Structure 1
Amino acid sequence: MQKLLFILNESPYGSEKSFNGLRLAVNLQEEYGKEIALKIFCFSDSVLAGLAGQDPKDGANIQQIMEILTAQGAEVKLCTTCTKARGIAQLPLAEGVTLGTLDDVSAWTLWADKVINF
């Protein structure tokens, strides 16, 4: 089984980096679901991707993409320090998304066969 860690850094609605990372993660799960284990850790402004209640007027709903990933077995964590710095640590999270720490992403990095950064 291939173990993949995605690390996101960009705002989900600013550039398309986080969106493209999540698209790749969904595609990998759909095409190779039984052959991979997937974890996603969000730093910086990408923590906004894990918030509940997103309602973009146009384009993809990143919250829905996160919930698809977690429903299919991916683990998703948002950096606690990053959420606190942005004043959003107490806001509700998308289903299946949790807060994590540098210890979590460090352990996930050692666990992973590949680390993919967006």
Structure 2
Amino acid sequence: MNILILINDAPYGTEKAYNAFRLAMALQKDHPTVQVNVFLMADAVGCGIANQTTPQGYYNIERMVKSVASHGGKIKACGTCADARGIRNIQLAEGVEISNMAELAQWTIEAEKVFTF
């Protein structure tokens, strides 16, 4: 099975990105044969920034991103969205790549389920 998780919200401020990555991690843990693809759009491209520092005891989206990637998940960030926020050329978290709408369209066609956060 192939699952696409589409995230639109910033990494912090709401818990949508946090819950999206929690779902991705749970899918990978409980269903290791499922391919999990995560596409970051709009303010969610901030999830892909490297070297995030959060207070002790607070969730860290970068660590969650790395966990999903290290378990075979693919994570792509919208290039147009990154350009609009001036972050295309900054260091991305391990496992995150800049992408485009054509690739999102392909992932959508290939996905058996699409979740939007």
TM-score tier (shorter): over 0.9
Q: Which residue of 2 aligns with 1:76?
A: 75
1:107 paired with 2:106, answer yes
For 1:33 and 1:51, the matched residues in 2 are separated by: 26
Question: Cα offset for 1:29?
Answer: 0.3
Question: Cα offset for 1:66?
Answer: 0.3
Give aligned-pair identity as a percent: 35
Give the 3-state SS of the residue equivalent to 2:18 in structure 1. helix
Deviation per residue, 1:59-103 (Å, 9 max, x gap): 111001000100100000000000000011111001111001000
Q: Which residue of 1 aligns with 2:60?
A: 61
For 2:54 and 2:42, the matched residues in 1 are separated by: 20
- Listed as ranges, the gaps of 5+ residues in structure 1 are none
What TM-score, normalized to structure 2?
0.97
Question: Cα offset for 1:16?
Answer: 0.4
Deviation per residue, 1:31-83 (Å, 9 max, x gap): 1112x111000000010001101001151110010001001000000000000
For 1:10 and 1:83, the matched residues in 2 are separated by: 13
Aligned pairs for 1:1-118 (under 5 A) are: 2-34=1-33, 36-58=34-56, 59-118=58-117
Output the aligned Cα RMSD.
0.7
- Listed as ranges, the gaps of 5+ residues in structure 2 are none
Which contiguous aligned blocks of 4+ residues in structure 1 show a shift greater than 4 angstroms? Answer: none
Letter in 1 for 2:60: N
For 2:88 and 2:2, the matched residues in 1 are separated by: 28
Question: Cα offset for 1:25?
Answer: 0.6
Give the 3-state SS of the residue equivalent to 2:66 in structure 1. helix
What TM-score, normalized to structure 1?
0.96
For 1:38 and 1:25, the matched residues in 2 are separated by: 7
Report the count of equivalent residues: 116
